[in-house]
Chains A and B, each alone.
Chain A
Amino acid sequence: MRRDRFAIAAAGCIHDNSVKAGWSSSARVEPEFERIFLPHLDAAWNLARLLMRNPQDAEDVVQEAYLKALRSFSGFRGESSRSWLLAIVRNTCFTWMRNNRERADQAEFREEIHTGAAATPEMESLSRERSEAVTRCIAQLPTDFREAIVLRELEQMSYREIAEITGVPSGTVMSRLARARSRLASCLKISLGGTSGPVTVIAEQRP
């Protein structure tokens, strides 16, 4: 990229801005920001797509969260960058849901987007059904429970990390996870085929 330096004209504010802006890499924070936070895009995307009902909204939310994060970048003190970003993503999700409650309630749940990558055509239908059942049951969880489950099972975060991101005490994380799992168990109607046998997951009827 060519970075022309413009001559400073006496009263030309355009010139002024461009030169002061530097056009020099040292003045730019965004390459550093990208280096730290773009590697967490998949985590941000998975959290957003599982919290939001519609993939387009999830995309918008993730983009907005990244812009917010860039604006707050000066406040980033080198703590866990993934937790820092995910906290912004979930807050942006919640703000969006508050502002679009009606739309969110009316939105139809788009299963194919929420189902994991495991749902490929060549997969046997049994495991695809399982995956769909899990996806549907997770979607039915209250949002607080859902985000705890996603952060724990997908991101494998500790209770302390989840507590930091969601802004509640660790004890609350513990009880949310316990209750979420108990709901999931009844939703999935998990039965055990013997202690060491295969797990059978039977989907509930579609709502």
Chain B
Amino acid sequence: MTCEEARSLLSARMDGELDVPLRAAVDAHVKTCAACTQQSETLQSVSMAVRNGISRNTAPAHLRDNIRFALRGADYLERTQAPAQWKQWGAAAAAAVFIAALGTAPFLVNERNHRQTLAQELLSAHQRALVGREVDVVSTDRHTVKPWFNGKLPFSPPVADLAAHGFLLEGGRVDYAGGHPVAALVYRRRLHRIDVFIWPAGNSTPPARFESNGYHEISWKKNGFTFTCISDLNAAELAGFARLLQSQ
């Protein structure tokens, strides 16, 4: 084996990645070659220096938290996504065939349009607030925000404190959508604002998911209220927020 051949294999030899015959041949050469012995030692030193120099760091705690949060959100999106749309259409089509005979097909079409319109109205309310008045009551304390709605709304919306999860309550306001007043709670995460619209569950319900121009909207019903959260936050994080709110 020539010096040149041996040299190209010294690094793999150090890593224990040569098969037995090749290893034996390189070993035999190195024993008789001072230059290759020296080179081999240099490689060892480099390897040691690297191992000592770039020790393994622990990932930042907030990164772990953010990832878990986003994973939960993504999982939520996954489970409320496409199949629902598909089924919804399938069910609507089947129902349409049946109900058309009764002459009420326009109702179904209207129903779908209403939902989309409501989602759009809520988004407009969110955007209006972004450029204008964000909150009528400024407070990070839910015990201040909740009573503030008394007398201004015919219902008392639930107000959750999510500060421990990185969502700061900034306040609330009364807004209008779907022809009726809705409570709007404002939360902030980093630079993103989230509006949570709450009103008594009734006929007007937006679609479970809605997306427009980089804004995401997620809606659900719980305890007699309809909730819609809207933000330009990425979809997974907003869904994480929705899950968090649902678990309160």
Contact = CB atoms under 8 A, between A and B. Distances in A.
Please indicate whether A and B come from the same complex rather than being unrelated chains: yes
B45 interface: yes
A18 interface: yes
A2 B10 CA distance: 61
Interface in A148-164: 149-150, 152-154, 158-159
A118 interface: yes
Q: Which of B72, B79, B236 neighbours the largest number of chain A CB atoms within 10 Å of its CB?
A: B79
Nearest to B43: A181
Contact of B208 (A13, A41, A66, A201): A13
| Most B CB within 10 A of own CB, among A16, A50, A63, A149 | A63
Contacts of B111: 11
B105 interface: no
Contact of B60 (A12, A59, A66, A190): A59
B43 A135 contact: no
Contact of A134 (B17, B50, B58, B79): B50
B47 interface: yes
Given A118-B52, A131-B52, A181-B46, A63 B63 contact: yes
Main SS class of interface, A: helix
Interface stretch (A27-35, A76-84, A93-101, A102-110): A27-35
A4 interface: yes
Interface in B36-73: 38, 41-43, 45-60, 63-64, 66-68, 70-72
A18 B67 CA distance: 23
A177 B12 contact: yes
B115 interface: yes
8 contacts: A14-B220, A41-B63, A45-B60, A70-B71, A135-B53, A170-B17, A181-B46, A181-B47
Interface of A: 1-2, 4, 6, 11-18, 20-22, 27-30, 33-34, 38, 41-42, 44-46, 49-50, 59, 62-63, 66-67, 70-71, 114-118, 127, 130-131, 133-135, 138, 149-150, 152-154, 158-159, 170, 174-175, 177-178, 181, 184-185, 188, 190, 192, 195, 199, 201
Interface of B: 8, 10-12, 15, 17, 38, 41-43, 45-60, 63-64, 66-68, 70-72, 74-76, 78-80, 83-84, 87-88, 108, 111, 115, 205-208, 219-223, 226, 236, 247
